[in-house]
């Protein structure tokens, strides 16, 4: 992987390519990951040892926001469930199996009157019960997620938590099981509270801990076979780590649904003049006297970043949904719901 300084030197001496090749991922990561104004944008992730002095106020702020986040999550989940259309099923966790003739003494409410009206017999609609699925949530809690480009925008980490809680609420309403995945395996939630409250409290507990270290992606060694994962991250991690993780998950096998979260500034680099960029994860500061001269090259490299992320996801049978924090969460959740439904039905399961 080329050093950041040498890459920037090449970048400033040549005309940017309008369509960078996909194997420019490493250069794109080195460049885009460090273009971060002081106390901002997205650095390339390293294996970060949390700073307890900084961690405490962040965890306290998250705990203070939980009631509002849970209220929003439940509202979004209700909207998702109300938006389900064309699904004729007897109840959560059941799918149509067959019609059979009603037997003497059959309860009246078991009879399917629409089907029975087509013949001279009364028919009962039978369903095939299916065991609930278990979904594992992985939320990127690395420092680069605790950033926003403007006061009126949520931090990337907060939006990741909202999307995951809303999806969890939706899945729980549909009779599924949901657990949080930690670097040491599925978390054990506290005993009290509703399932969603227990998930949220576990998430706050994860944000407070200093060990094991934060990571952008889950270690594949703790992912159970045939697991269904929802990974929310900005995916500004090392390319080889991302590739290896998605490849290994496919071999477990496990299905991963990637939720790519970005601040709008991270796509544009809308700065001008002399700016010093400072990473959030121990990267060296980067001083650029004419940052606007790099805007097009930056956009090209971000396009390469996004295209390669999609390529990796598709290659190993995972799904990818993009979300920018300036946008409302519901369209992203609807897109994710469609992705999960199509992917699960293709593999013979259900959502």
Q: Which of 95-104, 158-167, 317-326 has the lowest mean pLDDT?
A: 95-104
Separation between Cα atoms, residue 42 and residue 33, nearest integer Å: 5
Per-residue confidence (pLDDT) for residue 131, from 0 to 100: 59
pLDDT digits (tens, 9 = 90+) for 125-152: 765 545 578 899 999 988 888 888 899 9
Triad 248, 243, 29: Cα angle to 5°: 155
Q: Which of 57-71, 188-202, 253-267 has the highest mean pLDDT?
A: 253-267
List, in order, residues 6 or more apart from 255 with CB less than 8 Å away: 227, 228, 229, 249, 317, 318, 343, 344, 347
Separation between Cα atoms, residue 135 and residue 176, nearest integer Å: 8
pLDDT digits (tens, 9 = 90+) for 279-326: 666 767 778 888 888 888 888 888 888 898 999 999 999 999 999 999
For the chain, the domains span 21-84+131-346, 94-129
Q: Which of 11-25, 184-198, 217-231, 294-308 has the lowest mean pLDDT?
A: 11-25
Per-residue confidence (pLDDT) for residue 111, from 0 to 100: 79
Q: Is the pLDDT of residue 73 over 50?
A: yes
* Residue 111 DSSP symbol: B
Q: Is the pLDDT of residue 50 over 60?
A: no
| Neighbouring-strand partners of residue 232 | 139, 259
Tokens 């986040």, residue located:
69
* Residue 154 DSSP symbol: -
pLDDT digits (tens, 9 = 90+) for 22-39: 334 444 444 444 444 433
Rg of the chain in Å (alpha carbons): 23
Given pLDDT bands bounded at 50, 70 and 90, which one contains residue 71? very high
Tokens 């390519």, residue located:
17
Mean pLDDT over 250-264 rounds to: 94
> How far, in Å, are 8, 112, 134, 185, 253 from residue 225 at the CA level?
42, 39, 11, 13, 6
Q: Is the pLDDT of residue 171 over 80?
A: yes
């Amino acid at each position: 992987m080329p050093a950041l300084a040498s890459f920037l030197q090449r970048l400033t001496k040549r005309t940017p390519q309008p369509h960078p090749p996909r194997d420019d991922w490493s250069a794109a990561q080195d460049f885009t990951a460090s273009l971060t104004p002081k106390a901002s944008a997205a650095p390339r992730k390293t294996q970060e040892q949390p700073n307890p002095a900084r961690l405490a106020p962040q965890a306290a702020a998250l705990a203070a926001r939980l009631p509002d986040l849970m209220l929003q999550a439940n509202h979004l989940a209700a909207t998702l469930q109300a938006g389900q259309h064309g699904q004729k099923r007897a109840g959560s966790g059941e799918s149509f199996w067959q019609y059979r003739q009603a037997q003497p003494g059959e309860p009246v409410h078991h009879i399917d009157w629409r089907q029975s009206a087509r013949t001279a017999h009364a028919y009962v609609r039978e369903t095939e019960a299916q065991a609930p699925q278990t979904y594992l949530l992985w939320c990127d809690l690395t420092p680069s997620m605790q950033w926003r480009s403007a006061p009126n925008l949520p931090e990337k980490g907060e939006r990741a938590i909202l999307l995951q809680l809303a999806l969890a609420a939706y899945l729980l309403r549909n009779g599924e099981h949901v657990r949080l995945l930690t670097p040491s395996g599925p978390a054990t939630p506290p005993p009290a509270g509703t399932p969603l409250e227990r998930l949220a409290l576990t998430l706050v507990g994860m944000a407070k801990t200093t060990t094991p270290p934060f990571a952008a992606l889950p270690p594949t060694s703790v992912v159970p076979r045939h697991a269904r994962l929802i990974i929310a991250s900005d995916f500004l991690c090392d390319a080889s780590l991302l590739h290896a993780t998605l490849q290994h998950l496919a071999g477990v096998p496990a299905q991963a649904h990637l939720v790519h979260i970005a601040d709008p500034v991270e796509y544009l680099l809308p700065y001008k003049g002399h700016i010093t960029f400072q990473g959030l994860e121990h990267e060296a500061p980067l001083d650029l006297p004419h940052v606007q001269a790099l805007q097009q090259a930056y956009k090209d490299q971000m396009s390469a970043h996004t295209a390669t992320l999609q390529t990796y996801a598709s290659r190993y049978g995972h799904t990818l949904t993009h979300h920018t924090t300036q946008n409302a969460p519901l369209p992203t959740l609807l897109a994710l719901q469609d992705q999960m439904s199509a992917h699960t039905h293709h593999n013979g399961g259900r959502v």
